Amino acid sequence: MVHVLRRLLSVGEASDVVAAAPPVSPREVFRRFWPYTRGGRRWFAPIVLFSLIGPALDATEIWLFKIVVDDVLVPRDVGPLLWIAPTYMGLILGSGILGFADDVTSTWVSERFLLTLRSDVFRHVQGLSLGFFERRRLGDVLSRVTGDVDTVETFLLSGVADALYYVIRLGVFLGLLFYLQWDLTLLALVIVPLFWRAARHFSRLIKEASRERRRRSGSISAIAEESLGNVALVQAYNRQKWEERRFERENVGRFRATMASTRIRAVYGSVVEVIEVSGVLAVMSLGTWKLAQGQLTLGGLLVFLALIGNLYSPVRGLSHLGTTFYAASAAAERIIELLDQRPQVVEAAGARRIGRARGDLEFDGVSFRYPGTPSWALSDVSFHVAAGETLALVGASGAGKSTVAKLQLRFYDPDRGAVRLDGTDLRDLSLSDLRESVAVVLQETLVFHGTVRDNIAYGRPEATEADIVAAARAADAHEFIELLPEGYDTMVGQRGRTLSGGQRQRLAIARAMIRDAPVLLLDEPTTGLDARSGRRIMDPLRRLMAGRTTVVISHNLLTVRDATRIVVLDQGRIVECGAHDDLLERGGTYARLHRLNALTGAAPAGPSAPKTVLP
Ligand SMILES: Nc1ncnc2c1ncn2[C@@H]1O[C@H](COP(=O)(O)OP(=O)(O)OP(=O)(O)O)[C@@H](O)[C@H]1O
Ligand SMILES: [Mg+2]
């Protein structure tokens, strides 16, 4: 029997697509989320008032019923109905108006709460360092920002409002019952401890099931986001079935958890009913005896039984609320875990504002390791780029080139050494000033869902139409944009899928162009372009680089030749450094790379040279 019951109430086996958040006590949940109620607190008093008036009206209604039985039905006298009928009507109208006011205010308060909390969670997550997003599954984060936030509301507001409502009802009806028949009331109360015991036991089970359910929801979003986001890869490699199975596994997990929680609730509902009916039966037996003894009128007994129903309903409500509370706290834990994430990169207290930087950039003995990895991505890297100069970073894949770019943007802080802009350590610099000073064209071109115009203006939202066209012209993008169906108003799909690689790249160059920042960071600006397109963006790139400090990362030695200095990285270390001709003469790594480049046909001026990828 116990075994069957346990099976019935178990949640199912765990999986680990998304880990469960650490448990948090209800008190802590309150402490954390209370501040978000600030906008709605002035409505708390009216809501309490409504919950006071409500039961009073209900009690009056029941009282009228007693009068109808004892003064109208039993003596068969219509007279009192003359005042009872209009009073009853008035009560019903009053309840209606009260219900309306109560609904509107409490919804307002809880929706305000959600508004503040959701914006705040979003702001917080957006402020987290790149490292967080490189480790976490985006889909799970999304499900926390959307789904879990909603559930927290039931914990804090609806939950508390309901609790208050129940407690007040309990008080009112208990008082009335004691006033009517104290001995019957005491008998009715005997079962209350049983209610609590059942509630405690079942809420624990509910909490477990809810936790599992929230976690599975996160996994479902994570998998959906990953497979739908990479749909081209999935289809090209025929992995649809596999992805479906992965998705289904989590879906089934959520299904099981939901079913478990439904079973738990249903069993709980029946248990509660049994307890309740036994209470009512006990009261009824004693009541009938008192009726027979003439200590009680029929109306009195009926009213008492009706009131008992009203007494049990808040008790039941309160114990049910326990289970809702626990379900909501499972969601709260996931939000709290998110809110507890601290950005690894934070602006120093007295961060220096520099306004527009000159663009003097320096890496001084920089060593860096990605959090949680054993090997150094960069070790003891030093170089200096004076304002207006161009530095090229070359090296094999995985040598640490993009890592240099991330440190330069202060997406991470170095473990040793320092990165400086205009002689100031980036850690002492205002983050927004730093990022204001740098324009980037990254290895993966980032394009937003929106019009071509929006995408260019993203670099400087206040840019005028003329600025946008000028930037597009300089980036050699104007022509192709004009040919798009709606020109600058053409929508580019999410991640710019409706554009070609080269077009996306030129859009990114236009965006960097319009930003007009003193420092320019180009990570593989010719990625994904064939030789002709690669050469085609050389001119716009040169225009972009003119007069700015530029760090260009490239496999393509074409882009590198113009650089004032070339730094060759190998496994996070600088192995060579110098101008193009010097390095060729030295006959080291760079010369070898260059020779390879020439061999594969990507000699600097070769008209149909394919894009070269170094080993
Ligand atoms: N977020 C990360 N977490 C942990 N390790 C990372 C992370 N990003 C990069 N690495 C590791 O750091 C090393 C340097 O990576 P980086 O991206 O800087 O290489 P790269 O020179 O830009 O290569 P490519 O030319 O292929 O773009 C690699 O070994 C890589 O595996
Ligand atoms: Mg890279």
Instruction: For residue 503, report the distance from its CA to the centre of ligand 1, in Å.
Output: 26
Give the CA-trace dihedral at 332, 336, 228, 135, to 10 degrees. Answer: -150
Is the C-beta atom of 394 inside 6 A of ligand 1? no
Residue 493 has pLDDT above 50, yes or no: yes
Instruction: For residue 400, report the distance from its CA to the centre of ligand 1, in Å.
Output: 6
Contact yes or no for 366/574 (Cβ under 8 A): no
Is the C-beta atom of 25 inside 6 A of ligand 1? no
Nearest residue by C-alpha to atom 31 in ligand 1: 398
Amino acid at 203: S
Is the C-beta atom of 133 inside 6 A of ligand 1? no
Pocket test for ligand 1, best of 381, 402, 593 (most atoms within 8 A of CB): 402
- Confidence bin at 327 (pLDDT 50/70/90): confident
- Confidence bin at 614 (pLDDT 50/70/90): very low
Cα-flanking dihedrals φ and ψ of residue 112, to 5°? -60, -45
Cα atoms in the 13 Å half-sphere on the side-chain side of 430: 11
Q: Quote the pLDDT of residue 301.
A: 83
Is the C-beta atom of 397 inside 6 A of ligand 1? yes
Q: Quote the pLDDT of residue 574.
A: 92
Instruction: For residue 570, report the distance from its CA to the centre of ligand 2, in Å.
Output: 13
Q: Quote the pLDDT of residue 9.
A: 64
Nearest residue by C-alpha to atom 12 in ligand 1: 377
Write the pLDDT tens digit of every residue in 285-312.
Answer: 888 898 888 888 888 888 888 888 777 7
Least confident range from 173-177, 240-244, 317-321, 413-417: namely 317-321
- Nearest ligand to the CA atom of 613: 1
Contacts of 509 (CB under 8 A, 6+ apart): 441, 475, 476, 477, 525, 537, 540, 541, 544
Give SS3 for 324.
helix
Q: Which atom of ligand 1 sits closest to the CA of residue 131?
A: 1
Is the C-beta atom of 373 inside 6 A of ligand 1? yes
Is the C-beta atom of 402 inside 6 A of ligand 1? yes
Contacts of 309 (CB under 8 A, 6+ apart): 280
Encode 144-158 in three state secondary structure. Answer: HHHHHHHHHHHHHHH
Write the pLDDT tens digit of every residue in 362-395.
Answer: 999 999 999 888 999 999 999 999 998 999 998 8
What are the DSSP calls for 67-136, one per residue? HIIIIIITTT--TTHHHHHHHHHHHHHHHHHHHHHHHHHHHHHHHHHHHHHHHHHHHHHHTS-HHHHHHS
In angstroms, the CA 257 to CA 79 distance is 60
Nearest residue by C-alpha to atom 29 in ligand 1: 398
Q: Quote the pLDDT of residue 11.
A: 61
From 310, 324, 144, select the one nearest 220 (Cα to Cα): 144
- Nearest ligand to the CA atom of 395: 1
Contacts of 391 (CB under 8 A, 6+ apart): 361, 383, 385, 550, 551, 552, 563, 564, 565, 566, 567
Residue 529 has pLDDT above 70, yes or no: no
Q: Quote the pLDDT of residue 605.
A: 36
Nearest residue by C-alpha to atom 11 in ligand 1: 377
Q: Quote the pLDDT of residue 404.
A: 93
In angstroms, the CA 428 to CA 563 distance is 29
In angstroms, the CA 4 to CA 137 distance is 37
Helix locations, 340-464, DSSP H: 401-408, 431-437, 452-457
Is the C-beta atom of 614 inside 6 A of ligand 1? no
Pocket test for ligand 1, best of 366, 369, 375, 403 (most atoms within 8 A of CB): 403
Instruction: For residue 446, report the distance from its CA to the centre of ligand 1, in Å.
Output: 18
With b meaning 16 or more CB within 10 Å and e meaning fewer, what string describes 66-102? bbbbbebeeeeeeeeeeebeeebeeeeeebeebeeeb
In angstroms, the CA 215 to CA 37 distance is 26
Q: Which atom of ligand 1 sits closest to the CA of residue 524?
A: 27
CA 575, distance to chain mean position in Å, is 43
- Nearest ligand to the CA atom of 134: 1
Q: Quote the pLDDT of residue 97.
A: 92
Q: Quote the pLDDT of residue 606.
A: 34
Is the C-beta atom of 134 inside 6 A of ligand 1? yes
Give me the domains of the chain, ranges plus CATH numbers: 24-339 (1.20.1560.10), 361-445+520-599 (3.40.50.300)
Write the pLDDT tens digit of every residue in 446-468.
Answer: 777 788 898 888 888 888 999 99
Q: Which atom of ligand 1 sits closest to the CA of residue 130?
A: 1
In angstroms, the CA 246 to CA 250 distance is 7
N-to-C CA span, the chain: 67
Nearest residue by C-alpha to atom 7 in ligand 1: 370
- Nearest ligand to the CA atom of 399: 1
Average pLDDT score over residue span 335-347: 88
Nearest residue by C-alpha to atom 1 in ligand 1: 134
Contact yes or no for 392/558 (Cβ under 8 A): no
Tokens of 250: 């989590």
Q: What is the pTM of this model?
A: 0.74
Q: How many CB atoms lie within 10 A of CB 103?
A: 11
Residue 613 has pLDDT above 50, yes or no: no
Residue 429 has pLDDT above 70, yes or no: yes
Instruction: For residue 405, report the distance from its CA to the centre of ligand 2, in Å.
Output: 9
Is the C-beta atom of 608 inside 6 A of ligand 1? no
Radius of gyration of the chain (CA): 35
Is the C-beta atom of 370 inside 6 A of ligand 1? yes
Instruction: For residue 497, report the distance from its CA to the centre of ligand 2, in Å.
Output: 21
Pocket test for ligand 1, best of 370, 378, 412, 555 (most atoms within 8 A of CB): 370
CA 122, distance to chain mean position in Å, is 6
- Nearest ligand to the CA atom of 401: 1
Residue 603 has pLDDT above 60, yes or no: no
Write the pLDDT tens digit of every residue in 203-248.
Answer: 888 888 888 888 898 889 888 888 888 888 888 888 889 899 989 9
CA 314, distance to chain mean position in Å, is 35
Contact yes or no for 303/62 (Cβ under 8 A): yes
Write the pLDDT tens digit of every residue in 36-48.
Answer: 888 888 888 888 8
State the chain's mean pLDDT as an integer.
84
Instruction: For residue 438, report the distance from its CA to the centre of ligand 1, in Å.
Output: 21
Q: Quote the pLDDT of residue 269.
A: 84
In angstroms, the CA 590 to CA 394 distance is 8
Nearest residue by C-alpha to atom 18 in ligand 1: 400
Cα-flanking dihedrals φ and ψ of residue 384, to 5°? -135, 130
User: CA–CA distance from 257 to each of 9, 209, 262, 334, 606 (Å)?
Assistant: 10, 5, 9, 17, 63
Residue reference for tokens 């009335």? 176
Pocket test for ligand 1, best of 401, 442, 443, 612 (most atoms within 8 A of CB): 401
Instruction: For residue 373, report the distance from its CA to the centre of ligand 1, in Å.
Output: 11
